[in-house]
Structure 1
């Protein structure tokens, strides 16, 4: 085998002529002087069209290649500029690296595979590159890969949700395909404009494929965010919107906890000898001082701790939250005590469980069961649940659609959990773009492969 063919195989390059190989033994670096083959010369670095030459550029430059054993490998070549009629004066393309990149295709591919298997820090140390460079390579690799894949093809049923990826209210909007479980799209933000960007991308991809992909969306699952429902109705009016059952039951749990805190505060008031109060806020101002570093005191300045009924209510939080089938024997005893001592709080518990039962009945019976629950909550004289039934009425059609079609945000929550794990493993993205690229590489169904493997 000729030495030039051997070096091309070792370096993983095509359409490249090996001019010379120089070993710097002191620095432990192997420098391969190369040039593009005749057919690969004189092309725009962005669109790859053949263009007339402009000048010699800034001289010779180097690209990092895959290591050979313990030695770093660099490809060195001229970097002339060409005049493209579309992109203007740009550096000519080279067949071994992306435009503007400082690493070869094979090097980028190996980094992309490594970050789907281990942390960024491990990939950085193994490949001997800067930690920040790993994020740039991930983003660059995914941008190229996404151009080759039609992520929006065949979308029928989708789920939309948001996830916090950083402190300071930094959110990502994510869209998942219910039929395949793939992450389809993600972008920074949590508002209607962000979601409009997804539907615009979906419509543009349909025009390229000769399809109306907005009209092909039949079902959308989401939580109770109003901007999601508004965006879906605007762009996909034919789609059935399904409210996530978990979030609906969570609303009932939050209403029950609000009621429990009100009962607790009333028990504390009675223990301190208050005969009445002008609302919850007045009670908190009179009885408790919540300033950091200060003790909770009564009117006489004595320190107070919850005792008696107040303490029992405080400790019954998980007995009220948990599903009946998961209760321990001690928690069942606490519920029995609440039933006899605080019937209004127990009535709120029954309302929460009744709403959970609505999602378990036969779909044909669900409308009547939901109407019965709404009527009960409307007459219950418990302010948190009276407010909840108004919210349930607003999303009634979406709730019934979720029961009828058996859809929830379970797949989306699974993807969100994996994104959180990726965020922890990657540890410290300075922007959302590398995180999105890494999440897409892992969860979009197009995982990178190691160079040289079929």
Structure 2
């Protein structure tokens, strides 16, 4: 589950004494997580998971991309309607507005991926966006700017985050103006994740492995066998099994 009741069940199983020993909690920005952690693990420093924070920026960027795509499609339909009487030949080259709509639609992964992971074709698409759509390019740079902050030392990251908030506040892109409000709200948790170098990475990796085990466990008579399999593989203690050299 992904709700308050599930997290409460975890702390119930852990017990108040062990809960009080928790020093740090890495999580996304959900308010229900913060409220439960504050109540059940009052000594813990809450850290905002970098992946989820950058995901917020990626979603804001994609909102800008979809808006630019819709505008380009509307322009293409409008201009095509005006050209109907001319009836261009079937082999005529694509109109600039139609080509722009297609280009924006196909640039999604070039905008999402980290620059160091772009293919040569995706680099070309990104360069085309920078030249043809300054607003979308600005949204891309805002997303990348936020991602880079998590790679900086704490002192530099603190200054960079404040500058990013100011940039986003003035950018005149509604999705990023809204995002900077969330960043300000979670500023302490974001800087805590940078200070303590914490993320949800290990937990997400473990969850992926458990999902794979769940598929392997289809047909098992009871969930206890799956739990035992997960504990044996991921619990830390791996006893030597019979039959192994």
TM-score range, shorter chain: 0.7 to 0.9
| Bigger radius of gyration | 1
Give yes or no for the alignment of 1:252 onto 2:43.
no
Out of 169, 174, 177, which is 1:378 matched to? 169
1:289-332 deviations in Å (ceiling 9; x for gaps): xxxxxxxxxxxxxxxxx931000101111111111122222222
Determine whether 1:402 maps to 2:203: no
1:203 matched to 2:15? The reply is yes
Q: Once the 2 structures are TM-superposed, how far is the Cα of residue 371 of structure 1 from its aligned partner?
A: 1.0
- Is it true that 1:226 corresponds to 2:31 in the alignment? yes
Alignment partner, residue 442 of structure 1: 233
Contact in 1 for aligned 2:154/2:195 (Cα 8 Å): yes
More helix by share: 2
Match for residue 363 of structure 1 among 134, 154, 157 = 154
Matches within 5 A, 1:419-438: 419-428=210-219, 434-438=225-229
Q: Distance in 2 between matches of 1:349 and 1:362?
A: 23
Deviation at 1:360, TM superposition (A): 1.3
Q: How does 1:287-366 map to 2 (within 5 A)?
A: 307-366=98-157
Counterpart position of 2:182: 391
Q: How far does residue 418 in structure 1 lie from its aligned partner after superposition?
A: 1.1
Name the residue aligned to 2:5.
Answer: 193
Task: Tell me what 1:284 maps to.
Answer: none
Equivalent residue of 1:364, what SS? helix
**Where do residues 243-282 of structure 1 align in structure 2 (5 Å cutoff)?**
243-273=48-78
Q: Is the 8 A contact 2:72 2:98 kept in 1?
A: no
Provide Cα deviations, 1:221-261, integer angstroms capped at 9, x if missing partner.
11223222211111112210111111111111111111101
Cα deviation per residue 1:422-447 (whole Å; 9 max; x = unaligned)? 12222356875553343223212244
CA-based RMSD: 2.3
Quote the Cα distance in structure 2 between the aligned partners of 1:392 and 1:446.
40
Change (3 A) 1:307 1:431: farther
Shift in Å, 1:337: 1.6
Specify every segment of 5 or more residues in structure 2 that has no aligned partner in the other structure, as ranges. Answer: 80-96
* TM-score (structure 1 length as normaliser): 0.47
Indicate the structure with greater strand content. 1
SS at match of 2:15: helix
| Counterpart secondary structure, 1:381 | coil
Q: Deviations over 1:172-226 (max 9, x none)?
A: xxxxxxxxxxxxxxxxx2221221122122226xxxxxxx322211111112232
Listed as ranges, the gaps of 5+ residues in structure 1 are 1-188, 205-211, 275-305
Q: How many residues align?
A: 228
What is the distance in 1 between the residues matched to 2:127 and 2:10? 50
- Distance in 1, Cα, partners of 2:124 & 2:241: 58
Give TM-score, length-normalised by structure 2.
0.85
Distance 1:251 1:431 in 2: 39
Runs (4 or more) in structure 1 with deviation over 6 Å come to none
Higher relative contact order (CA 8 A, sep 6+): 2
| CA deviations over 1:321-372 (Å, ceiling 9, x no partner) | 1111222222222222211211000000000000011111121121111111
Name 1:78's counterpart in structure 2: none
